[in-house]
Amino acid sequence: MDTIAPPNNGRQLFPASSNIIVKWVIAALAITVATVVYSAYRGFRSDWWQGRNFAPAQPILFSHHHHTAELRIDCRVCHNSVESSAFAGMPATETCLSCHSGVFTDSPMLAPVIKSALSNKPIVWNRVYALPGYVYFNHSIHIAKGIGCTTCHGDIGEQRLTRKAQPLYMGWCLECHRAPEPFVRRPEDVFSPSAPAKPQLPADQRQELVDRLGIGGKHLTDCTTCHR
């Protein structure tokens, strides 16, 4: 025999206050989700996550400030393939010893260089910048087109420990590719360790440089330019 539920005599299953509780719960969940998403976004964009302004430990306590700003050694002495290769090159043991074979040879800081020379094992420097494998970057073309060291590497002449100056977001790269005029500098200033990231040149001079160096074209923002 089927049973028949007794009438509820018009009574509600839940009290009226339940509506308010449900609304508060939904609002709390929405705020929690939004907070988590925003925190994750900010964390991913933070200097800590991207390693910006972080100076990794190196086998030798090397100061760009001392060598470039004080001694005025040209960047190409150590990064000797920067004008001809995608990779800028790292200083070999022989490069260090070309100066230090007779200078500060008994300094503890130079001990790794001496050890490298005696053991015939190269110095292994720790990368400050590392692009994903799907990103192609060529140092030589940027140098040839008037993009200076400090545009990407920051105030390298003031860095006693080499640190990551830019997070290398795709949007940051595209800012220059879409409008290179503010970033292009005169050839004699390309390797200056103290030049600002955006050279303070009059608009007509910036445009003249862009035209003379042949910068421009749709290919600058094509996906295949950097993703090959």
Q: What is the pLDDT of residues 77-120, one digit of tens each?
A: 999 999 999 999 999 999 999 999 888 888 899 999 999 999 99
Ordered per-residue pLDDT tens for the chain, 228 residues? 555 555 555 566 767 777 888 889 999 999 999 999 998 888 877 777 877 889 999 999 999 999 999 999 999 999 999 999 999 999 999 999 999 988 888 889 999 999 999 999 999 999 999 899 999 999 999 999 999 999 999 999 999 999 999 988 899 999 999 999 999 999 999 999 999 988 889 999 999 999 999 998 889 999 999 998
Give the span between the Cα atoms of 211 and 53, in whole angstroms: 34
Measured at the alpha carbon of residue 151, what is the angle toward residues 150 and 157, in degrees to the nearest 5? 10
Give the span between the Cα atoms of 73 and 143, in whole angstroms: 18
The DSSP result for 90-142, as a single string, is: ---HHHHHHHHTSSSTT-GGGHHHHHHHHHT----PPPS----TT----HHHH
Maximal C-alpha separation, the chain: 108
The DSSP result for 68-98, as a single string, is: IIIS---HHHHSTTTTTSSS-----HHHHHH
